[in-house]
Amino acid sequence: MAGLSNRVNLKKEVIMPAYEYTCKDCKKEFTIFLSIKEFETKPKISCPHCQSDNVEKKLTSFFIKTSKKS
């Protein structure tokens, strides 16, 4: 047994919420994934369809594990 490591790796949980937006220009809806840390930096969100930043946030849905099956 070699290489005894005393180091502790702090494993941070990464939650990737999905942010849903509606583009006010082309009326398309899109979802972006940002970590909470990224979102806190208030990134500029632009529409992937028309590159407009005239977008409106709809709702935030977190990934929730569900066993529900239809």
Report the distance separating Cα 27 and Cα 24, nearest Å: 5
Q: Binding Zn ion by CB under 5 A: which of 16, 38, 49, 63?
A: 49
Of the candidate spans 1-9, 11-19, 32-40, 52-60, the one that interacts with Zn ion by CB under 5 A turns out to be 52-60
Beta bridge partners of residue 57, listed in sequence order: 21
Least distance from Zn ion to the Cβ atom of residue 57, Å: 14
Q: Does 58 bind Zn ion (CB under 5 A)?
A: no
CA angle 55, 59, 61 (to 5 degrees): 130
Taking the C-alpha atoms of residue 48 and residue 23, their distance in angstroms, rounded to an integer, is 9
Pick out residues in 8-27 that bind Zn ion (CB under 5 A).
23, 25-26
Residues at the contact surface with Zn ion, assessed by CB under 5 A: 23, 25-26, 47, 49-50, 52
